[in-house]
Every structure is written in C-alpha cells, then in structure tokens.
Structure 1
C-alpha cells in the first residue's frame, strides 16, 4: 500500500454510486472526479437491524428500500454532472421471495433466526454434511441460504423465485434479476467443481432449480436504471452493475495489494479470515477444518473461515445499555487498556455465541463449562468482558491464519485488516503479536471502495469480468481510490 498509485481518471467524468447494505447500518456513497481526481463521499447512512415478528426474525425490507432511495436522491442532488453507474453490495445468504411479477411476498428472514438451526439438523438426516461439504467446498454454517430455503419448504411456503438482498435492490432499480457469483457461492448451492448451481443439492433438498436466478460474474452490466428515479436528470442514462455483491468479496477487491504473501481479515460483525487463491482449495484436511471457498473478482477464490467478530462486543453493549449503561464501543475499548491477559479464552465460534441476546450470560455459560469463574455481568464488569473478547478473537485469528498457511502453502508476511475492525488498535496489536504478521490497516469502507473499483473496471476496461486481467484492473482502480 506504500506504492504511489498511477494517476488515472475515467473517460467519462460522471459520478458513480456505491450502496453497501450492512446488518447494522447501510451506506450510500458517491464517487466524483473534480479536476480529474477521485473524491468519495458518504452521502447517506441509515440504521439497520433485524426485527422480531410473530413468525420469526426478519429484515425490515421497506425501511431498507426507503433508505436506499433517499440516499440515491441525495446523491443525484450533489452530482449535476449526472450519475454514470450504481452498484450494490451487502451481506450474503439472506434473500427476498418474489411473486411472478417480481414483487416481494414477505419480509426476508434474518440469518440469525433459529429456524435455520432446525432446518440444518433435519436436512442432514438424509443429506450428509460430509457430502454437502464435498460437493460445494464451503464452510458448514446453519446461516447458509440452502438451510433457509429448506426451512421455507418445511414451513410449506409456496415455491417462489428469490433474489439475494443486493441483487434484489438492483432489480428494484430496474436491473435484470440475477445471482451474482460471489454472493451465490455463500448459498451452499454452488458446485465447487463446475462453479454452477448444484443440481444434486437442489434435488436432494427438494428445491426447484428452475426458480434460482441466472448466475453472473462480478462486473456484469444489468441494464439501465428505470422507474421514478429515472425522472431525475442525474439518472437519465445510469447503468446498473453487479459488483462483487457479497460485501466481503467487495472488501477484498478494495485491497490494493499484489503478490502471494498477504492474507486478509474483513473485520466487522463477522470476521472473515483467509487469503485469495487462484482456484478453490479443497481436500479432506480442508473439509475437516471447515474452511470455505467463495467467489472473488476476476474468477479468483476467497479461501477463508467465518469467525465471530464484533458481534460479541455489540451484543454485550446492547445488554449493558438495557441496564442504563451507554458508553459506546470506543469507550469500552479504552476501558480495558492495561488489564492483564485473561487466564481462559473463549471459543468465539461456539454456536451459542452467534445468537442474539443475553451475550454476557452466554459468555459466562461457556466460561463455567470450561471450569473458569464467571465474570461480573453488570456494567461494572464491562472492561473484563471486552478484554476477554479481544484476546479471544486475536487468538482465533492466529489459529485460523496458521491453518491458511498449511492449506495454501503461502508464506504469509502481511495481513490486511479492512472494515470497521481496521480502527480497533488494541485488537490489531494483539493480532500482530499472536500471528507474527505485519498488520496493515486498510480502509474502514473497503467494501465501498471495492464496489467502486469494480464499477470502474467494468466501464473502463474491455476485459472479460471472469478473467484475471479484470481482477488486475480492479486492483489498479482500488489503488487509485485509496
């Protein structure tokens, strides 16, 4: 990242918009080119979060759509030169069920709904997890789209078309309804060898393959923006582009690094810990370690493991807020400075710690099961909880990166931390100490940066989106925008 970027500017100086859907907040950002130099601006941010309904945990789709529309209108007002393109990325696995006219049937379920755990257990009774892992090459997680679709079937919902949330938003703007590849790979419905929808998995799960969207690579043009927004002058000729719709793949596309000596931690609600490879890495040892192979820009592969992340801290914060303690994450992080390392670390990927609510109690249950003393669950005990979480996450990062080295044969020297965790100085210091790697702090908004880089490579390059040359173009634009 120390190399100076080669000055570049696009042939068309109109602006671009990147929408990044987050599980806690959503962002709409604008990229403009005053005097030929890139200028990015966060134009609109709005809160997000699952809501409990009578039948389970859902995402407030109308609120998300309204927030995105407000952000788009604000961007149009700030860009008299016009908007050249829009792309949307977001978290994976969750989807919108649609009727034949493409209208949502209901609010999408949230991946943290407990129905997924039941669906996983039931599906495994006749389709073994070993076979699913062998067929798909991805990490076994109850949140994967497969189990959610299976839960829909068990609930006797009528079969319907579906789109993952980022692709749904692009279709809502007028784009072709598709499944972008990096997002689709997190569904556990893609064959690791053919990189197409797995007819076997669909058949064995009783799902209809004909209702799945058409697969496209990141960098695919989906048509022009249509509908009421098109009446605004800025949107009269705006292209819709599928970026790396999986926000992790976008975040990694936003890392302007080359070579084989680096790994990544995309650090936010989840921590995605791994490295880029040219093709899927799959072997009995990889399956035993439950690593995943997900799509990346230019036909590359994200080889990583989902590790719990700042979810642990945010859930503890929510519990203390209910008791009238409202310090904020920054103050919580400062509160644990100087504390001695904890004697017992958490297994941060314990399924119980992935669920919502009562996080201090969940953590204490694990500590007691390990033979350790429980911590003070009141706000007075917050510094000790925070310290335990940071040390436990860093230890888990070191463990996972050690296995990445073994499985890929890479000689890692650097690890790029992108996302909100790039600002967490204490966690990054502990990560450097426990991994022995140089920690390079990338962009907090790396998903947005990668989103823009894919848009520019699509618009400015003649490379096929599936080629390594396209990945190189994306990297160069990411370097220019950094």
Structure 2
C-alpha cells in the first residue's frame, strides 16, 4: 500500500509519565517514523488535589509541533492525538481548561465511588454499561465534582481537548468515551439514564464520533506555518490502549494482547461485547476498539509498581537502570509468595516498597528488604506476581470467550522488559510476540492513514499497521 499524498503525518501520544510528538514521513526508502519531541509529564500534588499541569503539557506539544514544521518541508497532511483515558478538562467560554485537570489517582474518587453506588448499585451499573467498575473512571470523577459543588461546565477527555485546542470541533471519540463508564454499550450512545439518576448534565458531554473521524483543520498560530497551512485533525482511537491494539497487524482470531505500561491491559478482541455473569464476576470490561471491534480486557497493575519502587530507591541514593537491575532480579530465587498486584493500596502514589511490605504482612508473609541495594529481590517479586496475574486473567478470558488462544502480543513501553516477557510466556504457556514499544503511535498513524486515504475499517487499519511497522 502506498499513500496518494506523500505529505507527513504527526501523532501526539499523551502519557501519564511522558508525552511524545512523532513525525511520519514518506521517504524514497519507505515510511520513516521519528520521535521529534518527548517531555516528562507527572501529576503534581497541590493543596487542591493531585493535578495535571495542562499549560505545561500544551507548551510541550507546541514545541514538538514547531519542530515537526521545521523538518517536514513537504507539509503535514494530518495530526491525531491519543492518550490515557478517564481524566478530563472542564472548559470555560473560550474553550480553555478552567483549571488544571484532576489526576485519576486523586483520593477524592474513593468517596465518590461509594456515593455513586448508593444511587446505582455496582452490579446494576455493570449491566447498563458492560464496563468493569473502577473508581478511576470518568463517571466517579464527574460525581466528585458534583459532591464538591463544582460547576457542571462542558468537559472533554484530554486527547479530545488537545484536538479542540488545535482547531478541531468539540467531540468525544468513542474508544475513549467507553472509559467514562457513561456509554450504553448496547446502543453505542451516551447512557442518559445514568446522567439523569446522578443529576449530571448530559449536555456537558460532547457528541460522539468514531475512530478515524476527521474533526477539523489546524487553526491559529500553527496554521501560519507553511507545514500546517492545510492540515486535517483526526480523532484516532483517542484511548492509547485502543490505539496500541490497532497497531497490531494480525487478522487472525487466536491471539490475546497485553498493552504493557503504567497499567497492563490484558485481553483479546471481540466482534461483540460479552456482558455475562461470569464476565461481570471477573470484572472484565468491554471497551471500544478500532474498526468497530471490542477490546475485552481487564486493567491490571503494571510498571507503576516497579517505577514506584525505583523512585524511592533513587531518592535513597541508588539510581537503578533496567539494564543493571533485571539480570540481578532474574538470578533471584522464585518467590515463595506473590503479591495481589491489584490491591487498591498499590494503586496510590507514595513509598511503594513499604506499601508492598504492608500487604505482605497483612497476608501473614514476611517482609522484603526495602534497601536500595536489595532491589533485585523486590523486583523479582513484582515481576513474578505480574506474570502470574496475567496468566490468571488470560485463563478467565479464554474460558469466558471460548477462544483457543495461541499467541500473546505484548506492546507498549513495558514490552522492553525482557524478563517480564519471559516470565509471562512461562506462566501463560502462550507464544509471546513482542510488538512495537511505541505501539500507540503506530496505531495512531495506522488509523490516520486509513481515515485520510479511504475508510477506517478494521481490515484497512490492520493493513496500514503492517505497512508502517517497518517505519519504527
């Protein structure tokens, strides 16, 4: 497949730890993807809660886009934005964020979740939405706003917010919207009944669009640059996991995936949602995917655990690198006991080694040394525990779907962890195929190409993913 227009494309990938601006160009040797700009992104604890510095994010993205303009003298055909789900910006009359958005890890969601389920029981909510209950979902954050007396201003999840800031119309892309826990999976529309029962204004949510929708053109200062004079804005799979899975060029039906990063999203693709009692008992969720497919998976804790430990060890004077740490962790004895990696206490920020030991003590096990020099033992415990949890979840998915799974694609930044990949292969018994570490960017570009060239159906997206795989 070759493009009809050889101008460049830009993919913006918003990450909870870093944001990236990448450029896809069509060179005589073939497609080439370049990471043009990457900058750190961390939620900041303030007197008003855990927040994202939205102005800093926008400034970093603008720097990346200006760099793209300088490189892509042939012009930029389109820009698309994906990122983490659930968090959102409330908009003022000018379409700008009224304040720094809350981070989904803020403790306000604990009370909000309890209050929501006092009105709509969790089991009933699950039947309505086919979504696994997680207190980080947008619904609970919106209700936390209500409990705090915050104004019910229009809101956009962050990738769609960036698209609007670049000149796009106000939309909510479907794969991202399914993570709000406010979509009726039976109709594919906003679940107005949930809004009404919780006294949330459905008019504050933006109109839904499907992945691959063209939502406008670049305007403002960027449009004065020659490269962006005629650049379309595309809503890809705005949720980064859906984007990552769109970047897997496999048309078969015998594979599962792990999108491995801060979170591990463990699942498989379906044609239709499964919302049976066994699926609900496992808290397996049905999220929107590219080309009308369903991502049937479970959110499992991920590299958050190890990164939380690395932060503590670094502060104590030992800055471990993965290249240094993982061989030492592999040499450790197999742990006698494994962590419950999905313990809610391990989802919160702060002093991860002691949080892990607190769980071990509560379960009647012995502590592990938290000293930086003893990091290999703690690392081995984390990685063995993650692999075992992946195997449990994939076993449940195989039972519930009836699929005969043969392959397991591991994509995302965590796919570079060779030790975890090997442990996962051992625990699951599946053939592990390591995909692109920047799989969200690959899927972003694949959906863009399908959208601007023809149509964003599943087959076309998979074909473009195969073509573009060589660009990375």
Q: Deviation at 1:367?
A: 0.7
**1:288-327 maps to which residues of 2 (within 5 A)?**
288-327=281-320
Mapped to 2, the partners of 1:134 and 1:328 lie a distance apart of 44
* 8 Å Cα contact 2:313-2:319 kept in structure 1: yes
**1:206-221 maps to which residues of 2 (within 5 A)?**
206-221=199-214
Mapped to 2, the partners of 1:134 and 1:258 lie a distance apart of 30
Query: Which position in structure 1 is the counterpart of 2:464?
Result: 477
Query: Which position in structure 1 is the counterpart of 2:359?
Result: 366
3-state DSSP of counterpart to 1:275: strand
Deviates more, 1:198-207 or 1:290-299: 198-207
Query: Which position in structure 2 is the counterpart of 1:37?
Result: 30
Uncovered stretches (5+) of structure 2, i.e. residues with no partner: none
Q: Deviation at 1:100?
A: 2.5
Q: Deviation at 1:182?
A: 0.2
Mapped to 1, the partners of 2:193 and 2:323 lie a distance apart of 48
Mapped to 1, the partners of 2:126 and 2:198 lie a distance apart of 14
Cα displacement string for residues 410-458 of structure 1 (whole angstroms, at most 9, x for unaligned residues): 1000000000121111111111111000000000000000000000000
Query: Which position in structure 2 is the counterpart of 1:262?
Result: 255
Q: Deviation at 1:158?
A: 1.1
**1:174-253 maps to which residues of 2 (within 5 A)?**
174-253=167-246
Query: Which position in structure 2 is the counterpart of 1:421?
Result: 414
Mapped to 2, the partners of 1:91 and 1:126 lie a distance apart of 28
CA RMSD of aligned residues (A): 0.8
Cα displacement string for residues 306-352 of structure 1 (whole angstroms, at most 9, x for unaligned residues): 00000000000111111111112332222212111000000000000
Q: Deviation at 1:208?
A: 0.3
Uncovered stretches (5+) of structure 1, i.e. residues with no partner: 1-7
Q: Which one of the candidate residues 9, 14, 23 is aligned to 1:16?
A: 9
Query: Which position in structure 2 is the counterpart of 1:390?
Result: 383
Mapped to 2, the partners of 1:52 and 1:339 lie a distance apart of 36
Deviates more, 1:117-126 or 1:12-21: 117-126
Q: Deviation at 1:123?
A: 1.4
3-state DSSP of counterpart to 1:457: helix
Aligned length: 469
TM-score (norm. length: structure 2): 0.98
Deviates more, 1:426-435 or 1:35-44: 35-44
3-state DSSP of counterpart to 2:184: coil
Mapped to 2, the partners of 1:368 and 1:330 lie a distance apart of 30
Q: Which one of the candidate residues 383, 390, 397 is aligned to 1:404?
A: 397
Query: Which position in structure 1 is the counterpart of 2:265?
Result: 272
* 8 Å Cα contact 1:275-1:303 kept in structure 2: yes
Cα displacement string for residues 163-205 of structure 1 (whole angstroms, at most 9, x for unaligned residues): 0000000000000110000000000000121111001111122
Cα displacement string for residues 372-391 of structure 1 (whole angstroms, at most 9, x for unaligned residues): 11011111221111000000
Query: Is 1:330 aligned to residue 323 of structure 2?
Result: yes
3-state DSSP of counterpart to 2:299: strand
